[in-house]
Amino acid sequence: MSDKCKSPLKTALHGMDERAYKMMAMYLQGPCKEAAVVVEDLKAEIDIIDADSVKAKTLLEQRLTESARPIIALSLQELTFENILYVKKPVKTSDLLFALSEARAILSVKKKSDNQVNTCTQNTASRQSQNPVTKPESLLDTVKKQATNTDEQKKTSKHQTAMQLDEGKFNAFIGSVPGLDVNDPKQFPDAAYNPKDYFQGYVQSALMVAEAKKQVMRLNSGWKPLIIFPHNHEIWLDADDKQLRAFAGVGMNKISGPGMTLTPEESIAASVQESLEKFHDQDAFLWKLAAWTSKGRYPGALDINRPVFLKHWPNFTRLVVTPHALRISALLMASPRTLPEIAEVLKIKPQYVFVFISSAYALGLIGQAKREASGSRYFCESFYGHPCPTSGKSYATANACGCPSRPASFVGYPARGIQHHSRNDSTRCRKACIFTTQKALRENTCAIASGDYSTPVSQRMKSFNHQSSKKLSNRVC
Amino acid sequence: MSHYKIIFTGPVGAGKTTAIESISDIAPIKTDASASDMTKTKKSSTTVAMDYGIMNLTGGEKIHLYGTPGQERFDFMWDILTTGGIGLILLLDNTRADPFQDMKFFLDSFQKFIAETNVAIGVTQMDLSNKPTINDYHSQLRAMGIKPPVFSVDARVKNDVSLLVQSLLYSLDPGIEA
């Protein structure tokens, strides 16, 4: 965003005589295009100090200890203070504008942080925000630490890295339903479950109510109280994963169901504010709750014979990564598929597809394509937001899906993708990376033959097959 | 033996060097120099040419990791580094004044490369500043007509960087041939 779109920074000038003061005010208004405007000290957002003035040292020290405002110091010599923005004299417009943009950035971070503090548990944060600026740190660091941090960083559950499950750990971690083989196509109709019959359904309803009312709510289940903080998109629960996993699988029958109540939480208990590690990100919580409720089944609201699509990638680094979840996501981002089709195309057990779909569905990331658009005919417009061009990746991708938005024969051959692997239908869904043009092939034949990895993308990716991805996956898990 | 190349880019301080350090199987090669401009308010040194690391896969295959300098004045390196790459990792610092502006800038700058390959986006420093959210990034990207993976990433954590790299690779090929 250009500075023109922003309001001028309110600036107080220090250490300048009347003439220099006026000159600087005009300089900010003219050459600096009103990036800043001079105001009286009390109303200022930042300070500009002439660090070569007689009282400069005192002024700087005073400002650093008494004010958390960003400071820009103008000087002929490089200054030793670390927590100021320095502009060397003679002042160049570009340098001063850069310093002003940095000051704006610092203010923005501070403002953001203050907002967070206001919406978070308040005691600790308010103490933190009163801390004076400490000298050894940069101003930006100090601002970051003052407000953003302490509380947010202590919410360890929110920021811990993802757990990646491989196939071997699936049953132990996710569980299964006795007497049901979800991997048997004949039993697919029985492999559906209704989240409303479980704790998951109540949590989802409670989240919707809290979000609609924008109010902190407590879900009383007769088990452990669960508190929803809609403003921060957080959930607080005094239970560990083992306890939650066990409770997730318990069906809520008609007796226990009515016992559930949702009440506004007027004041947050000190015990909640102190147990920051029990805060969960709402999405991460719901994701794992759905996985544990599913136990390898799929939500009954989905028609297993109609293609589903993924609205966007889940934030996998903060979720439980179920087996093949990344591959399923990549496939669904490319085109809609039915659940059995996903398992078939990726050659994986349906239970891995079902559990992923259950979690993604709980987060609202799964949509079900309408029958008339269930093919890939409208792939480009639906998923890339624009029609296929005459050549290039989108066209090739659509073509790869077997349903370009215009017939391939309408496109001249040099621009049309050449399908290197067209043995069977499964290749139709390869991404555009396996396509290239004849011209590119001719030009790069030698490089391709030599195995040089600096060959065109289409050829490079042709060789980057699933095996490579799998090796990477195995290596890093 | 196959070699692949992935490029890490993003603004100054987003964690490119750290991410490569986290995931590389060799001691990464860095071209850091003392920050002499306003970058020094953020960190003491900055990348001036490139970072380089390697991920070794079984069977002798390698993924070469290249990090670009974050400062725009070194943008002449960007084209050089993307040559031969199979995809782009864009890291964004959520504490910056306008991370969306950064995102648009880098997506525009690497538009041609991304059109030919793919991109995955990692948002760093979310434990310091949790706004904008990952969903906000998706909204912005939707308006731009693309739907890449966007993950919250701690560049110091190997697992985070690894998942981001995996998402990029699976975006390129979900592995239908398996």
Chain A residue at shortest CA distance from B126: A159
CB contact under 8 A, A99 and B159: no
Using the predicted structure, report yes or no on whether residue A55 has a pLDDT greater than 50.
Answer: yes
Chain B residue at shortest CA distance from A315: B151
Contact A116, A152 (CB under 8 A): yes
Question: For chain B, what percent of residues have pLDDT higher than 70?
Answer: 84
> Cβ atoms within 10 A of the Cβ of A193, count?
22
* Residue B170 near chain A (CB below 8 Å): yes
* Residue B90 near chain A (CB below 8 Å): no
Collapsing DSSP to helix, strand or coil, B154 comes out as coil
Using the predicted structure, report yes or no on whether residue B154 has a pLDDT greater than 70.
Answer: yes
Using the predicted structure, report yes or no on whether residue A241 has a pLDDT greater than 90.
Answer: no
* Residue B49 near chain A (CB below 8 Å): no
Which residues, numbered 296 to 335 in chain A, qualify as contacts with chain B under a Cβ-Cβ cut-off of 8 Å? Answer: 312-313, 315-318, 321, 326-331, 333-334
CATH of B9-171, one of 3.90.190.20, 3.20.20.140, 3.30.70.20, 3.40.50.300: 3.40.50.300
More confident residue, A203 or A435: A203
pLDDT digits (tens, 9 = 90+) for B67-117: 988 766 667 777 888 888 999 999 999 998 899 999 999 999 999 999 999
Using the predicted structure, report yes or no on whether residue A457 has a pLDDT greater than 90.
Answer: no
Q: What is the spatial distance between Cα A195 and Cα A248, in angstroms, rounded to a whole number?
A: 10
**pLDDT of res. A171:** 75
What's the mean per-residue pLDDT of chain B?
Answer: 85
Q: How far is A185 from chain B (nearest CA, A)?
A: 21
Question: For chain A, what percent of residues have pLDDT higher than 70?
Answer: 63
Q: How far is A346 from chain B (nearest CA, A)?
A: 6
Of A392, A445, A382, A383, give the one whose Cα is nearest residue A414.
A392
CB contact under 8 A, A464 and B4: yes
The mean-pLDDT minimum among A40-49, A65-74, A145-154 falls in A145-154
What's the predicted TM-score (pTM) here? 0.62
- Domain ranges (residues) in chain B: 9-171
Chain A residue at shortest CA distance from B153: A317
CA triple A59-A140-A159, angle to 5 deg: 155
Strand-pairing partners, residue A234, are A229, A281
CB contact under 8 A, B162 and A385: no
**pLDDT of res. B129:** 84
CA triple A366-A372-A373, angle to 5 deg: 50
Contact B88, B169 (CB under 8 A): no
Question: E-assigned strands of B17-166?
Answer: 29-34, 45-56, 62-67, 87-93, 119-124, 150-152
Enumerate the residues of chain B whose CB falls inside 8 A of the CB of residue A384: 145-147
DSSP A398: H
CB pairs < 8 Å spanning A and B: 213
Contact B54, B64 (CB under 8 A): yes
